[in-house]
Amino acid sequence: MATPPYFIVLLGDVGVGKSAIFEKLTGLTGRSGHAVNSTTLTSEIVKSWDRRLIVADTPGANPMRDKLEYNLHIAQSMNNRPVACVLIVVRADIRMDNVIRNVSEYAERFYPNFPSNLFDVCVTHMDTVTWTERDFLLYVKEKLGIETVVFSSLNTTGEALSQNLLNLCARKRPANVNIDAEMFLRVFKISNSNLKILRETRKEAGRFKQMKDDFFEQRQKCVWWDRMNMTFQFNKWILAEIIAAQHRFITRNSFTFDMGPDMGNDVGNVANLTNELRPVLTDLRIEAYKAHKDVDCDIRQCPHCGEIWQKVEGSDGDTVCGQRPSNPSDHWSGELVIFQFTWDSASEKLSIKKVGVESKITAHSTDNVRYQRAGCGKTIKWSNMNKFISPFEHENPDIGSTSDLFSLPDRYRRDWETFYDRVLRDPSSVKHTIR
């Protein structure tokens, strides 16, 4: 269990009431406002009036201008010290659906990248709606699985807010967030809304979705061992295609990454494209994980001759390499083949062809009473044999992970990291270098 003071970061859109919450908790005044653009231009970290909380007020995460600078202030605050709670602040609306949508947008952006238990929700302006706290708690639990929400209205006191937040933090263990240059691009959107670039981004995203759909359709027509290996190989191919798309996008739009006035916008546009394509890779990698689970097979390789077998009967004990199953209908052999994937830009279709053999796989029995034998005939112990892992399978990361897909190609990533580390120390300096 953590002990006070707990560090809380207020996060939310422009105008939702973050600074009003900050003022109630700290006793400070003059920070909140009703301007179209965020009144809060920088982050401020202050102890609460009761000194049991340390509160970071941050600029709106959806400002109409200076997106890079504002979001750098947010990242700087979250990196300041171990965080007990990131409080997503949303404004009450006549329609609860709108409030849920606002919470969901932040959840989708932050939850995959940080521990979900760091995040809590605060609904402000409760005095402006007719629905009750209980109504919202039931609804947000049903829609998003969130069970704890802090509510605030015009008459809510700083004492009441502080106590509610202390109750939340007391059940948590503070964590170091560490938003580095790559994480920053995954979490924040910093690109300008250039219509031409947005159209090209949507076109690329549509193309990759079609690739994925075509792949799933053609995969269903294959035998299980082809489906398994095809899935791993397609994962490797689609990652290379996404990186190629990043390079095409950079060339077509003449992005320079020259550490000058357009650095943030160039980086932000490429990161936005990558984040649009990331879900395609996630879906495919989840399927790669399921490929083995679905067929429930046990494939192992003989340490003497290298033959690859699938056990269809028997125990995990001593056996002989090449022992065949008792049922003649199980005397099958198959090939794990190499596939070629091609995207036809004219027809906008994916084609898949077999172009070689990776390895062969044969049905095996570990019951030594069987008579028919293949393989090298040497004694083996099934449980001690190495499981066969396809080279394509071995190269995939954890289930659904896209940690090896970076927001920028290698060629440009180092320059962005240098730039990010420099401006993170002084986000206000971005005004002079970024349009």
Q: Using one digit for the tens of pLDDT, what is the confidence trace for 375-393?
A: 788 888 888 888 776 555 5
Residues 145 and 24 in one domain: yes
Question: Of the candidates 57, 238, 102, 175, which has an alpha carbon nearest to the alpha carbon of residue 246?
Answer: 238
Neighbour-count burial of 147, counting CB atoms closer than 10 A to its CB (0-12 exposed, 13-18 middle, 19+ buried):
exposed
Distance CA 158, CA 17 (A): 14
Residues 30 and 140 in one domain: yes
Residues 131 and 27 in one domain: yes
Residue 312: strand, helix, or coil: strand
Residues 146 and 71 in one domain: yes
Q: Which of 179, 210, 229 is the last residue of a domain?
A: 179
Residue 366 located in a structural domain: yes
Distance CA 302, CA 304 (A): 5
- pLDDT, tens digit (0-9, with 9 covering 90-100), for 234-285: 999 999 999 999 999 999 999 999 887 788 889 999 999 999 999 999 999 8
Residue 427 located in a structural domain: yes
Distance CA 411, CA 393 (A): 27
Read off the CATH number of the domain in which 53 is found: 3.40.50.300
Residue 25 located in a structural domain: yes
pTM comes to 0.78
Distance CA 424, CA 38 (A): 20
Q: How many CB atoms lie within 10 A of CB 86?
A: 24
Residues 134 and 27 in one domain: yes
Residues 292 and 147 in one domain: no
Residues 399 and 435 in one domain: yes
Residues 318 and 271 in one domain: no
Tokens of 256: 């320079």
Structural domains counted in the chain: 3
Residue 184 located in a structural domain: no
Per-residue pLDDT at 149 exceeds 80? yes
Residue 186 located in a structural domain: no
- pLDDT, tens digit (0-9, with 9 covering 90-100), for 413-435: 999 999 999 999 888 776 544 43
Residue 337 belongs to domain spanning: 299-386
Q: Which of 139, 154, 179 is the last residue of a domain?
A: 179
Is 165 within 8 Å of 87 (Cβ atoms)?
A: yes
Band of the pLDDT at 298, cuts 50, 70, 90?
Answer: confident
Question: Of the candidates 280, 245, 261, 187, which has an alpha carbon nearest to the alpha carbon of residue 408?
Answer: 245
| Half-sphere exposure for 211 (CA within 13 Å, toward CB) | 25
Residue 424 located in a structural domain: yes
Per-residue CA distances from 195 to 124, 191, 200, 278, 309 (Å):
34, 11, 9, 21, 55
